[in-house]
Amino acid sequence: MTYPIRPIDESEWPAFLRVLEEGFGWTPHPQQGARFKAETEFDRTLAAFDGDDIAGVTAVLSLTMTVPGGQLPVGGVTSVSVLPSHRRRGVLSALMRRQLADIRERGESVAALYASEAPIYSRYGYGRAAHELSFRINKHASAFVANAPQDPSLRLRVAKPADVRADLEKLFATVVTRRPGRYERKPHAWDGVLADEEADQRGAGPLRSVLAEDGAGVRGYALFRIKSSWDGNGVPDGELKLYELEAADPAAYALLWRSLLDRDLVSKIDAGTRPVDDPLIALLADQRQLRASWSDELWVRLVEVDRALTSRAYSAAVDVVIEVEDDVCPWNARRWRLTADPTGAECKPVEDQPDLTVPVNALGSAYLGDGLLLESLAAGLLREHSPGAVRSLATALSWSPKPWAGLTF
């Protein structure tokens, strides 16, 4: 069976939303639904129709994402859902193929997404490109190393987040270009970050902020909620749930963490998503106390391999012929010679013998600099024809800091 696919217009939003609600088993509260609609780019939605009814949906957000050495327009794939009555009939596959063709036509060479489940997207050429750590720290075991940075000119300011939105936006704009995977926030995204209706609080009180600043301005901020409680013996046992901690420099970063870890009446700090190379790991005297858990974060798809590979910077020189396997975007499936060094890159179609053969999702997983090509080689998922070719490409593609988006889209 085929299901005709087209973008929806605004009048079809309730039907589009219903498919998302059914797929995710989720009901947005009215303000959440309004924010969601406001950030939807209707000309970038797609719906698969069964007669007059929508059976499956997806959408793209036009993101400006940091990649190694710069920023790039990236198709941020979101809102993927197929009605439970229509699952496993190829609706998602049809939507994904059409969406990738649209993204290419739009001129974006890279697509990215957050996956609800890890097994879904590699078949469409997406690779696991960034990871996150969650920390669950006991305040009483959170001492810093003796040489943690300190800056006496820094002071803390407690403020209602909505009152300091301009400061938060300004600081965020200075840090967003520093780490691959981060993307610029539009006003709707900030509305979501700062949303504070009771349903957003989930029993953990209002959104709070603390800023680190000096005479010249704000150098960092943290956004969090506190769920206060006392145990049966009357000992304070509050929990601080951290949403964001951004800082322009190490001293502001250390001060903000210290202010959270030392918070009175709090015994546990739950940091839901942090980068895998979070400087807090080095600051803590006892890293085991992070009680970290690890998960995939962003998935990346090279929609046009050559343009994507020439749109980022390289850590080292490389000259390899890559044979790319790609069933979903056949224009990528050929041999490419990548010649790159820290001053620039060129990627040309060639007929030469390949140095390595890679599925396109392996390139996506290496694109933001996480160094995952060597992991794929060790797992037997790549074919190396010239010894050392994978290591050479992996070294050139690797980047510091490690990729992390930090906010679901």
Ligand X SMILES: CC(=O)SCCNC(=O)CCNC(=O)[C@H](O)C(C)(C)COP(=O)(O)OP(=O)(O)OC[C@H]1O[C@@H](n2cnc3c(N)ncnc32)[C@H](O)[C@@H]1OP(=O)(O)O
For residue 349, say if its preceding peptide bond is cis, omega within 30 degrees of 0.
no
Q: Contact region for ligand X (CB under 6 A) — 72-80, 202-210, 351-359, 390-398?
A: 72-80
Minimum distance from residue 8 beta carbon to ligand X (Å): 16
Minimum distance from residue 19 beta carbon to ligand X (Å): 8
How many Å separate Cα 166 from the centre of its chain? 23
342-360 in b/e form (b: 16+ CB < 10 A) is eeebebeeeeeebbbbbbb
Q: Does 63 bind ligand X (CB under 6 A)?
A: no
Active-site entry in 121, 124, 126, 367: 121
Q: Contact region for ligand X (CB under 6 A) — 27-35, 109-117, 235-243, 284-292?
A: 109-117
**CA angle, 219 as apex, 192 and 262 as ends, to 5°?**
80
Applying CB under 6 A, among 2, 27, 62, 116 the residue interacting with ligand X is: 116
Applying CB under 6 A, among 40, 79, 209, 332 the residue interacting with ligand X is: 79
Strand partners, 245: 222
Applying CB under 6 A, among 89, 97, 258, 383 the residue interacting with ligand X is: 89
- Is 238 known as a binding-site position? no
Size of the site for ligand X (CB under 6 A): 24
Minimum distance from residue 328 beta carbon to ligand X (Å): 12
Applying CB under 6 A, among 1, 51, 88, 216 the residue interacting with ligand X is: 88
Q: Contact region for ligand X (CB under 6 A) — 35-43, 89-97, 368-376, 393-401?
A: 89-97
Active-site entry in 16, 172, 253, 409: 409
- Is 21 known as a binding-site position? no
Q: Does 113 bind ligand X (CB under 6 A)?
A: yes
Minimum distance from residue 92 beta carbon to ligand X (Å): 3
Q: Does 40 bind ligand X (CB under 6 A)?
A: no
Minimum distance from residue 274 beta carbon to ligand X (Å): 22
SS (H, E, C) 76-91: EEEEEEECHHHCCCCH
Q: Contact region for ligand X (CB under 6 A) — 28-36, 91-99, 254-262, 314-322?
A: 91-99
Applying CB under 6 A, among 7, 28, 69, 90 the residue interacting with ligand X is: 90
Q: Does 93 bind ligand X (CB under 6 A)?
A: yes
- Is 93 known as a binding-site position? yes
Active site residue 126: no
- Is 116 known as a binding-site position? yes
Please, which residue, 37 or 87, has the CB nearer to ligand X? 87
Please, which residue, 88 or 288, has the CB nearer to ligand X? 88
Active site residue 36: no
Interface ranges with ligand X (CB under 6 A): 23-24, 56, 77-82, 87-93, 113-117, 119-120, 123
Q: Binding site for acetyl-CoA: residue ranges?
A: 80-82, 88-93, 116-117
Residues taking part in catalysis: 121, 409
